Structure 1
């Protein structure tokens, strides 16, 4: 089959994913699965081969992600229930003072967002933000926008969040390097979309209604100290970063093996969860029975995310087997398109169309992966971050985050476009611009 035909049916398959989610209101898992099967049929794959490839694609991506996402979710739940998130927020508020509240909420959001989903972080921090606003009488956006910016950029590009881990799994990128680069990108990009944008927009937009206050959900009888809170939340990051220094630091082979083992994302998160069970749970008066209940309840929301990621892996495998990846690679080589630019644009278009950063990350990584097989000199960690940056672009009415921010902050639809949509787009392009700069030097 010609390259033009293979590329055409791929474009139609992607369009089907978009139409399925937006028009037919299918779950992204269903849209991706149907598109994968129809793409395989259109590409002339035997029906038995399509079924095998689907199973292989799902298995390959989920085998490396399931435990990581589950443990990360449990850690986030323990942080929420123990009051550790509130402690971190209070620490930054005291440290920065009322005059610099946007910076306080930014750094609080950045720290808290590392192990938790965006929605969870929003629920943890929003009661504190609203309490600060009522005390200081400042525009709520001045305090809330930096926090939201920090959580959004972290959710989009920093491991162990689902999208970043899915792209890492598809590209077989080094987790430690992705983490290191993502932290370098996150800070300046988050500041642009956070405190700096907050100072600008808070002078021009004021929420129309009172925000919907979300009660803090704390089960502990006493809060852990700020030091314990910081240590527990940052522990998996410290452990994973340790794997980066192993190749560059002379040390006994046994020590290098130990550091590599405990720096594996699964092991690092497992260690951190047990530390959290004790420091944020038992030590704070949460019973073992309640800890078990919290663990179970934290895993339920993962089902939908894992289904989407699995179907994205299947879509990728069908692309490989059908030869679409080779066809797109040939065209990309002829046009001399940069894989980083291609990844950013593809992820951005899918995000705009579907409203899901996870779908954008998984699908675009599956599209780009077969293309780069025949290319050399590609920085895979930066490629992961470029896709993550694209997945944040131009959030609008088809994104659940759009409506969460609108309702929680008391904004109108028009105001949400002026604040949340602009914020997400600023984060997207700022992060990608920083990726391009880093790529010049590494």
Structure 2
């Protein structure tokens, strides 16, 4: 039964890929058909199929839909006002075209620490597209280092939820995990970011162009570099303030207010209104122009929201059908060191369910009883090994896969050759770093 379930999971993934690339179905349709196929062949009862699918869609979109909309509006304001172009030209002037991948890696790494991966993409995307337009470089050379920076901190570094959950489950020391994760993340992001981007940009030239945010400056005069940087960093600054508020010795009321305004959706809403004023009204855009701009950029959000929601539905069907449990049982029966076991279980659950956070927390729950009686296990490195496993081989059941594809204007094969490979490099290099530190400590 286990082998049959894994085989049917593989077939369902093939259905998604063939549906999009061969039959030219919309990705939403492909994901929905694959979800129904897997649900039926795995024996899920008919009354549970729709409920599971709706739970998966709601679970992803409930968190993301407002962030997607506001992030896209902010990106469009940065693009159409010329603020993105101002920052792009500043980066090109300061770092030079040859060092752009390194500058973008640093941007992604720093901005990724306080924000979710999806929020980071939406904050940095207009900057990526502006630099792509100004420098005439392959967009992969600019985007991939940036995405690598966002992804590695999302998978390994506290205060991201997966890492915090694993720390809690393993009872590891948060400070040590933070220190070790930063040491391990730096070489991983260098290899999977600028170095991989410089290699792959000569081999993959995207056939399409980014469609969701187009650079068509409407402002009568460009904003200054300072205000441009302030607005792109404002949501990040608000989220950082929210994260540190409990430790500033403030009154409970003020701390609650700071935590509220630093939640991603509120931080982005505030940033959108600041952008409306400084990048819109002050630069000659009237209310009608701002309203039209907002409506234009919200229309394409519908398509990506459907795709991401369908990916969430597919993920939930995978979970409900027992694929994650099957993989976990198979890996648990192997006689391996705790670090290798945690990495493998997290990796296999990630491949099966598409969620790094689900993979990290599920794997930690499985491995923690195994290591409970082992006194010599480095629990902090165990957290990192589990996090590294949770990053590998992102594919069609991962919302991140579709975000990268849609926002960078890639085809499905191009996304596999770039994003999927990047995530797998991050995973294995970070795991190698954990093993090396385990030997040295």
| TM-score normalised over the length of structure 2 | 0.68
- Counterparts of 1:378-389 in structure 2, within 5 Å, are none
In structure 2, distance between residues paired with 1:319 and 1:294: 39
- Counterparts of 1:44-55 in structure 2, within 5 Å, are 44-55=43-54
Task: Specify which of 103, 106, 113 is matched with residue 107 of structure 1.
Answer: 103
In structure 2, distance between residues paired with 1:259 and 1:403: 33
1:115-151 alpha-carbon deviations (Å, 9 max, x no partner): 5488755542233214xxxxxxxxx67xx76524434
Q: Check 1:151–1:401 CA distance in 2 against 1; reply closer, same or farther (3 A cut).
A: farther
Is the aligned partner of 1:147 residue 2:146?
A: no
Aligned to 2:82: 83
CA contact (8 A) 2:385 2:431 kept: yes
Q: Which runs of 5+ in 2 are unaligned?
A: 112-119, 155-159, 168-174, 369-378, 397-403
Is the aligned partner of 1:129 residue 2:124?
A: no
1:361 offset after TM fit, Å?
A: 4.9
Calculate the aligned-residue CA RMSD, in Å: 5.0
In structure 2, distance between residues paired with 1:402 and 1:58: 20
- Counterparts of 1:257-276 in structure 2, within 5 Å, are 257-276=256-275
1:42 offset after TM fit, Å?
A: 1.8
In structure 2, distance between residues paired with 1:298 and 1:341: 41
Aligned to 1:36: 35
CA contact (8 A) 2:53 2:313 kept: yes
1:34-79 alpha-carbon deviations (Å, 9 max, x no partner): 2222222222222122122222221222111100111111110000
In structure 1, distance between residues paired with 2:122 and 2:46: 40
CA contact (8 A) 2:104 2:143 kept: no
In structure 2, distance between residues paired with 1:5 and 1:64: 33
In structure 2, distance between residues paired with 1:16 and 1:157: 29
Aligned to 1:18: 17
Aligned to 1:354: none
Q: Check 1:60–1:85 CA distance in 2 against 1; reply closer, same or farther (3 A cut).
A: same
| TM-score normalised over the length of structure 1 | 0.68
CA contact (8 A) 1:117 1:155 kept: no
1:299-326 alpha-carbon deviations (Å, 9 max, x no partner): 1222222122212222222233333332
1:16-48 alpha-carbon deviations (Å, 9 max, x no partner): 333333333333222221222222222222212
In structure 2, distance between residues paired with 1:323 and 1:290: 51
CA contact (8 A) 1:145 1:194 kept: no
1:301 is paired with a residue whose SS is helix
CA contact (8 A) 2:78 2:279 kept: yes
Name the count of aligned residue pairs: 386
CA contact (8 A) 2:145 2:197 kept: no
Between 215-224 and 111-120, the greater mean CA deviation after superposition: 111-120
Between 280-289 and 73-82, the greater mean CA deviation after superposition: 280-289
2:285 is paired with a residue whose SS is coil
Q: Check 1:158–1:234 CA distance in 2 against 1; reply closer, same or farther (3 A cut).
A: farther
In structure 2, distance between residues paired with 1:382 and 1:316: 23
CA contact (8 A) 1:103 1:146 kept: no
Is the aligned partner of 1:429 residue 2:428?
A: no
Q: Check 1:149–1:37 CA distance in 2 against 1; reply closer, same or farther (3 A cut).
A: closer
Aligned to 2:333: 334
In structure 2, distance between residues paired with 1:427 and 1:56: 27
CA contact (8 A) 1:146 1:191 kept: no
Is the aligned partner of 1:312 residue 2:319?
A: no
CA contact (8 A) 1:153 1:186 kept: no
In structure 1, distance between residues paired with 2:142 and 2:274: 26
Is the aligned partner of 1:57 residue 2:56?
A: yes
- Counterparts of 1:272-283 in structure 2, within 5 Å, are 272-283=271-282
2:333 is paired with a residue whose SS is helix
In structure 2, distance between residues paired with 1:189 and 1:370: 24
1:59 is paired with a residue whose SS is helix
- Counterparts of 1:192-211 in structure 2, within 5 Å, are 192=191
Aligned to 1:134: none
Aligned to 1:356: none
Is the aligned partner of 1:231 residue 2:230?
A: yes
Q: Check 1:249–1:4 CA distance in 2 against 1; reply closer, same or farther (3 A cut).
A: farther
1:54-105 alpha-carbon deviations (Å, 9 max, x no partner): 2222122211110011111111000001111111122223334xxx432257
- Counterparts of 1:278-317 in structure 2, within 5 Å, are 278-317=277-316
1:346 offset after TM fit, Å?
A: 7.7
Aligned to 2:239: 240
CA contact (8 A) 1:192 1:426 kept: no
Aligned to 2:171: none
